[in-house]
């Protein structure tokens, strides 16, 4: 798995990464699962538990796992109704499920080879005709819309803590890899701000590339959506939400 260690800012993850849209996306995800009569769900990269906790509250039987122990600790503090497990999505074995999910660019942290390994393991974790639902940044959109300058993507105050994060992106078009450097300031009241410098590497895919790798590993795409649950448009949508079925 590509090295981006969420541990450093795990306690601030929700404030830095989540906005009002996550509530709407959870509703969309729940609607999709109900449409396909899903009852059991495996979240293979649950992070701080955003999807797992919500789906559990909507009467889905959820098993949740993440690679990072610090993220699991945060998730576990939020609820006593779920037990969060630590595991690698390429190797975990918790039984068979109606659906597997991995949300918020999880697969981008995997190399292409690792993604194939994860898909094979996810297939083994699915019942016949089970669903795999995930999202990833859209390569075609980023080719034409990625800023060529440093920008602020977070500026917020939550519970007396101020957050400012600067991003600088570089896209390797040939390799379809997005390199991002983060500089994050976290300030409690008027204390001296803590500064966190991080680098992130994300493998990016086009819709056609996803179809190819999914087909190779025993899946067929049922539908492609954007983050708002509408039909995916390769030129205007930053995110691809893929609904794939185990063949």
> Mean per-residue pLDDT for 7-16?
70
Same domain, residue pair 148 and 42? no
pLDDT at residue 1, as a whole number:
39
Q: Flag whether pLDDT at 2 surpasses 70.
A: no
> Mean per-residue pLDDT for 34-58?
96
Which tokens hold the place of 95?
């039984």
Q: Flag whether pLDDT at 70 surpasses 50.
A: yes
Beta-sheet pairing, 177-188 with 194-203: antiparallel
Better pLDDT: 6 or 164: 164
Q: Give the sheet arrangement for strand 161-172, strand by strand.
A: 151-158, 161-172, 177-188, 194-203
Same domain, residue pair 50 and 110? yes
Per-residue confidence at 3, pLDDT binned at 50, 70, 90?
very low
The per-residue pLDDT of the chain, averaged, comes to 93
**pTM summary value:** 0.92
| Residue 158: CATH number of its domain | 2.20.25
Per-residue confidence at 22, pLDDT binned at 50, 70, 90?
confident
Residue at 1 is within a domain: no
Per-residue confidence at 15, pLDDT binned at 50, 70, 90?
confident
Domain extent, residue 151, equals 141-203
Q: Flag whether pLDDT at 6 surpasses 60.
A: yes
pLDDT at residue 181, as a whole number:
95
| Residue 17: CATH number of its domain | 3.40.50.150
Residue at 116 is within a domain: yes
Q: How far is CA 121 from CA 89, 137, 202, in A?
A: 7, 22, 21
Share of residues in the chain with pLDDT > 90 (%): 87
Same domain, residue pair 154 and 36? no
Q: What is the pLDDT of residues 77-119, one digit of tens each?
A: 999 999 999 999 999 999 999 999 999 999 999 999 999 999 9
Same domain, residue pair 155 and 92? no
d(CA 86, CA 66): 5
Q: What is the count of structural domains for the chain?
A: 2
Q: What is the pLDDT of residues 175-194, one digit of tens each?
A: 999 999 999 999 999 999 99
């Amino acid at each position: 798995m590509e090295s981006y260690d969420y541990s450093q800012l795990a306690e601030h993850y929700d404030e830095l990464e989540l906005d009002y849209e996550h509530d709407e996306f959870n509703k969309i995800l729940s609607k999709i699962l109900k449409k396909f009569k899903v009852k059991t769900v495996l979240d293979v990269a649950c992070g701080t538990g955003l999807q797992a906790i919500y789906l559990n509250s909507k009467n889905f039987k959820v098993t949740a796992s993440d690679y990072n122990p610090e993220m699991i600790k945060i998730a576990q503090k939020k609820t006593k109704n779920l037990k969060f497990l630590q595991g690698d999505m390429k190797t975990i074995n918790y039984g068979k499920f109606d659906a597997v999910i991995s949300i918020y660019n999880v697969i981008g942290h995997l190399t292409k080879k690792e993604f194939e390994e994860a898909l094979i393991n996810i297939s083994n974790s699915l019942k016949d005709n089970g669903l795999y639902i995930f999202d990833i940044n859209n390569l075609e959109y980023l080719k034409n819309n990625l800023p060529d300058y440093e920008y602020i993507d977070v500026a917020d105050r939550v519970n007396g803590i101020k957050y400012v994060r600067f991003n600088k992106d570089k896209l390797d078009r040939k390799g379809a890899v997005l390199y991002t450097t983060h500089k994050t300031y976290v300030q409690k009241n008027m204390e001296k701000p803590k500064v966190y410098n991080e680098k992130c590497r994300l493998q990016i895919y086009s819709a056609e590339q996803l179809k190819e790798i999914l087909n190779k590993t025993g899946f067929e795409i049922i539908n492609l959506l954007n983050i708002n649950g509408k039909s995916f448009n390769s030129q205007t949508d930053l995110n691809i939400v893929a609904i794939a079925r185990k063949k």
